[in-house]
Amino acid sequence: MASIIDRFEGCWAIIEHAGGFFNFPKDLLPAGAHEGDVIVFDITVDKAATAERRRKIQELENDLFDKPSCQDGA
């Protein structure tokens, strides 16, 4: 589905997509992008990075919740 750069407002590109509009950081667009250009977003999920992030969060949760508190008589 096509997305179109409708206009620029300050640091934002206003993108028309699927009958609506959303703001997108202008500095993330390719150099030379102009109003009226049709753009294509290619978004992927980095499964390895996601799994590593979840592992680190789980470690932090384990460290936080698995230690006895002072109120436990320790």
Predicted confidence pLDDT, tens digits, the chain (74 residues): 789 999 999 999 999 999 999 999 999 999 999 999 999 999 999 999 999 999 999 999 998 887 665 665 55
Minimal CA–CA distance to 42: which of 27, 56, 57, 30? 30
Instruction: Tell me whether residue 74 is in a domain.
Output: no
pLDDT at 52: 97
- Rounded to two decimals, the pTM is 0.67
Instruction: Tell me whether residue 73 is in a domain.
Output: no
How many structural domains does the chain have? Answer: 1
CB 12 within 8 A of CB 25: yes
CB 13 within 8 A of CB 23: yes
- Residue 19 belongs to domain spanning: 3-67
Instruction: Tell me whether residue 56 is in a domain.
Output: yes
State the residue for tokens 């008589």: 73
Instruction: Tell me whether residue 35 is in a domain.
Output: yes
Measured between alpha carbons, how far is 72 from 20 in angstroms, rounded to an integer? 55
